[in-house]
Chain A
Amino acid sequence: MVTRLDTKIYDAATEVTWCPGCGDFAILRALKLALADLGIAPWQALVVSGIGCGSKLPDYTSINGFMTIHGRPLPIATGARLANPDLHVIVVNGDGDSYGIGGNHFLHACRRNPDLTHIVENNQIYGLTKGQYSPTSDKGFVTTTSPDGSIEAALNPLSVAIAAGATFVARGFAGEPKHMAQLIVEGIQHRGYALIDVLQPCVTFNRVNTYDWYRSRVYKLEENYDPADRLAAWLKAQEWEERIPLGVLYRSADSPSYEDQVGALKISSPVQSALRLAREPSPGQYEPLKAEFM
């Protein structure tokens, strides 16, 4: 039986430095709502972020937080999960961090299926460096590094994730924080890697993909939509120009997580081993290993 917690317990005394109206506020709120709904206390979770406006999120909470380096939160979070599978590990980073500099880690997290919840603050722009085009910027987008309009095709993170073997692929919208919170709940409950790409307007540097731009396009997936159909999910993920679906596009309910398949973790986690060995080093246990050298 889950006891719903008060979202105030995740608050921090720090000053939030996001621009007024930034979509990241909704993500922070949705994350707190999701953790409260699931009864996860601040010390039971770990939020790992990278670099960028949105990656400052852990600083604005009283949840265990590790603000790391650009593009690397996924492997850092994977290491933390493998060290202590009791931690609820949530990765929060932007589209540049996730799909640009961290693109390789993103692909391998999808196929590897570690039990992580990955919330991508996707505003289709680099905000903290003041407005350069990102991997998800639409072709033709004019920024300081694409003054004549970007000539690169935008990355479609959802179809890439499905193709790469992700077992939970969802899209949320900063204009729908409660819907987003439900996606985060389902992502945390999912056993394996859960991608939640969140459309999150940058009110300062992206004057194209605004709240209004998204509102006129987004829709919630129909009741009868079947997220278990991988091919249908891939086709659904192609929708972008006119209509943009929100919700869980793909979910594989019966895929084991990476951690589920690590034999060593069935015996002891690395964190528990280190605690135990510091108390009782048990040197005798290693003697049999000498045999292979003789």
Chain B
Amino acid sequence: MSDAKGEGVDTRAPIDQGISIMIGGDAGQGVESSGAGFALALARAGLHVFALQDYRSQIRGGHNFYEIRIANRPLYSHREPIHVLLALTPESIARHLDVLAPGGAVIYPDKFEVDRAALESRGVRAEALPLTAIAEQHGNRLMLNTAGLGAIAALTGFPLRFMEQVIQENFGKKSATLAEENIAVAREAHAVALERFGESFPYRVAPDEHAPRRMLMHGNEALALGALAGGCRFISAYPMTPGTSVVEWLAAVPDEYAMVVKHAEDEIAAVCMAVGASFAGARAMTSTSGGGFSLMVEAMGLAGMTEVPLVIVEAQRGGPSTGLPTRTEQSDLLFAVHAAHGEFPRIITAPGTVEECFEAGWRAFNLAERYQCPVVVLTDSFLASSLRTLEMDAIDFSKVVIDRGKTLAPEESGAQAGYRRFELSGDGISPRAIPGYEGAVITTASDEHDESGHITEESENRVRMMNKRMRKMETAGAEMRLPSLYGPAGADLTIACWGSTVGPCREAVDEMLEAGASVNLLQFTDLLPMDGDAVRQTLDACHRIVAVEQNYTGQLGRLLRMTSGIAPHHTLNKFDGRPFSPHEIMAGLEGIA
């Protein structure tokens, strides 16, 4: 790494990296539920949180863990080391030994046989507590996770009342007894642990009483909320991890929003229902992952050919085929770029943060309706399911724009005698009538068609209609966003990224800048169409570019070369299904340098 340019003394305070707490156990032990509950308690206590779940595609058994990072400043990623590990199984300790911080602690039920020497040789405290006995005495053994949370609160000095409130809300919905028992378990474990630990533990979690209220949200929730605010009132989907929680969230929206949710028989039906709904005039979407998107591509081509606005949310996971169902990857970018046979206009965006997911949710409908074409919003498992605290104004409904482009209002449709759905125009976009209003009758075919929508294979018409459709890509290109720069301009090293890797990349850049490196970050959110000339200028101005991607082949790098003629100098790839951590990125960059 090279030295920072410029003069003067850096007077910035060291970055507050916060502390990280992990809950590890088997599927079915409530790892996720207790982790998410704890994260909410921390957020309510005025702390910034980043929470990541790591689980397998099975409902019972198999090691799971939940990682919560806590700080007094916004967080964009998980980060090692782990300061506190709550081990609900002995396996949790063995698995995470390597990432435990010296001075940290492992809390575990005293019945476990644990290699204390292995922990203590690393400077990690091995804290056996009667958690199982406490759970059984005040509730039942399933409440082991709750006992553990009580012990963590005691260890770190986090006030138990925040946890009690969340427990009351989460369990009170099911039964008052369940809530009371869980609270009793947490209190007893807290008391026992406090007697043992006092204030001896160096990593404290103190509430910030002066902090503003914040929200705790993951990417799928933000995207669904954005879609709703953008006027989407129709989603058809088939369950597929990690895309499912988009449709689940929208299905739970109160009736008054009149959200129509259709769980289809398969992904082909799901995307086709969305095409039908959008053709009829709704703002319609579908949500899936790579496997489901593979089934949707023919209908995506239909939407391209018939100029039906279509929003597809594709939350990527490890592929190919079933791949790594619960894990993250960014390997579908070039698939989305090329999905379906033939050539037709399409738009691809990739939000990188939870806030960006909210905006991507509503903006996709404007893009789809303005350019009357399919829009693919690419997220991934890491972004879709990691929770992050947001300021209240990060979700600002007053900034949401609903722009339907050349969609005609009913009264305008009604005035369209002799209406031609695919009328030629300078920008390639034709006025779009909605069926069901007197006057305009709409004929549309997946076959090549003339301006009136009737089928024809005539050569001159084919050329005209191809030109018309493809011209929309040029028209759309003008409003697509260039990569955003984070960090100082003109740095020696530029990281290029897209999607969820922006979080760990940002944290890596912050840390490298603090250490005096000359580095910045280019984040691409609008991936297609891309203004090749403008991107070339941007990339030309960079000294050395490393593309950091969660895939094997460096797909952003390839796309950049394809559109701008310039490829990154190096690529840093990861395809084990686990998200990059800032440390991995820094280590990887050092390896390249």
Q: Are B233 and A274 in contact (CB under 8 A)?
A: yes
Given A14-B454, A67-B455, A275-B409, A264:B233 Cβ within 8 A = yes
**B141 is an interface residue with CB less than 8 A from chain A:** no
On chain B, the residues within 8 Å of A75 by CB distance are 236, 264-265, 268-270, 272-273, 276
Q: Are A270 and B260 in contact (CB under 8 A)?
A: yes
* B-binding segment of A54-62, A135-143, A200-208, A221-229: A54-62
On chain A, the residues within 8 Å of B281 by CB distance are 83-84, 270-271, 274-275
Residue in B258, B280, B445, B454 whose CB lies within 8 Å of A267: B258
Give the docked Cα–Cα distance between A46 and B253 (Å): 30
Residue in A65, A268, A270 whose CB lies within 8 Å of B283: A270
**B302 is an interface residue with CB less than 8 A from chain A:** yes
Given A43-B438, A62-B441, A80:B231 Cβ within 8 A = no
On chain A, the residues within 8 Å of B262 by CB distance are 78-79, 82
Identify which of residues 44-101 in chain A touch chain B, using a CB-to-CB cut-off of 8 Å: 44, 46, 48, 51, 56, 58-59, 62-69, 72, 74-84, 86-87
User: Closest Cβ of chain A: how far from B339's Cβ, in Å?
Assistant: 14
Q: Are A265 and B229 in contact (CB under 8 A)?
A: no
Given A274-B282, A293-B216, A80:B255 Cβ within 8 A = no
User: Closest Cβ of chain A: how far from B230's Cβ, in Å?
Assistant: 8
Identify which of residues 226-264 in chain B touch chain A, using a CB-to-CB cut-off of 8 Å: 228-229, 231, 233-234, 236, 253, 255-262, 264
Give the docked Cα–Cα distance between A105 and B274 (Å): 15
Q: Are B233 and A270 in contact (CB under 8 A)?
A: yes
**B439 is an interface residue with CB less than 8 A from chain A:** yes
On chain B, the residues within 8 Å of A83 by CB distance are 234, 260, 276-278, 280-282, 284
Give the docked Cα–Cα distance between A269 and B306 (Å): 23
Nearest A residue to B275 via CB reads: A76
Give the docked Cα–Cα distance between A43 and B416 (Å): 11
Q: Are A271 and B273 in contact (CB under 8 A)?
A: no
Give the docked Cα–Cα distance between A294 and B272 (Å): 36
On chain B, the residues within 8 Å of A41 by CB distance are 438
Give the docked Cα–Cα distance between A66 and B446 (Å): 8
Q: Are A43 and B441 in contact (CB under 8 A)?
A: yes
User: Closest Cβ of chain B: how far from A42's Cβ, in Å?
Assistant: 5
Q: Are B265 and A84 in contact (CB under 8 A)?
A: no
On chain B, the residues within 8 Å of A293 by CB distance are 215-217, 221, 390
Interface size of A by Cβ–Cβ distance < 8 Å? 62
User: Closest Cβ of chain B: how far from A41's Cβ, in Å?
Assistant: 7
Q: Are B455 and A66 in contact (CB under 8 A)?
A: no
**A235 is an interface residue with CB less than 8 A from chain B:** no
Identify which of residues 230-268 in chain A touch chain B, using a CB-to-CB cut-off of 8 Å: 262-265, 267-268
Interface of B is mostly: mixed
**A145 is an interface residue with CB less than 8 A from chain B:** no
Given A75-B276, A77-B276, A84:B441 Cβ within 8 A = no
Give the docked Cα–Cα distance between A239 and B269 (Å): 32
* B-binding segment of A21-29, A172-180, A210-218, A278-286: A278-286
Q: Are A64 and B265 in contact (CB under 8 A)?
A: no
On chain A, the residues within 8 Å of B260 by CB distance are 82-83, 262, 264-265, 269-270
Give the docked Cα–Cα distance between A268 and B277 (Å): 14
Given A82-B262, A293-B216, A270:B284 Cβ within 8 A = yes
On chain A, the residues within 8 Å of B266 by CB distance are 104
User: Closest Cβ of chain B: how far from A164's Cβ, in Å?
Assistant: 12
On chain A, the residues within 8 Å of B584 by CB distance are none
**B298 is an interface residue with CB less than 8 A from chain A:** yes
Given A79-B284, A274-B231, A287-B397, A58:B443 Cβ within 8 A = yes
What 0/1 readout, one digit per residue, does chain B (200-241) give for beta carbons within 8 Å of chain A?
A: 000000000000011111000100010011010110100000
**B138 is an interface residue with CB less than 8 A from chain A:** no
Q: Are B445 and A59 in contact (CB under 8 A)?
A: yes
On chain B, the residues within 8 Å of A104 by CB distance are 265-266, 269
On chain A, the residues within 8 Å of B438 by CB distance are 41, 43
User: Closest Cβ of chain A: how far from B139's Cβ, in Å?
Assistant: 26
**A151 is an interface residue with CB less than 8 A from chain B:** no
Give the docked Cα–Cα distance between A105 and B278 (Å): 19
Residue in B264, B276, B442 whose CB lies within 8 Å of A65: B442
On chain B, the residues within 8 Å of A289 by CB distance are 225, 228, 253
On chain A, the residues within 8 Å of B272 by CB distance are 68, 72, 75-76, 79
**A273 is an interface residue with CB less than 8 A from chain B:** yes
Q: Are B443 and A294 in contact (CB under 8 A)?
A: no
Q: Are A79 and B275 in contact (CB under 8 A)?
A: yes
Q: Are A87 and B265 in contact (CB under 8 A)?
A: no
Q: Are B216 and A46 in contact (CB under 8 A)?
A: no
On chain B, the residues within 8 Å of A62 by CB distance are 441, 443
Give the docked Cα–Cα distance between A289 and B226 (Å): 11
User: Closest Cβ of chain A: how far from B322's Cβ, in Å?
Assistant: 20
**B410 is an interface residue with CB less than 8 A from chain A:** yes
**B192 is an interface residue with CB less than 8 A from chain A:** no
**B447 is an interface residue with CB less than 8 A from chain A:** yes
**B436 is an interface residue with CB less than 8 A from chain A:** yes
User: Closest Cβ of chain A: how far from B520's Cβ, in Å?
Assistant: 32
Given A43-B435, A278-B231, A268:B258 Cβ within 8 A = yes
5 contacts between A and B (CB under 8 A): A42-B441, A75-B273, A273-B258, A274-B404, A293-B215
Further pairs besides A81-B276, A82-B234, A278-B404: 7, Cβ < 8 Å: A12-B454, A65-B453, A67-B445, A105-B265, A281-B401, A287-B397, A294-B44
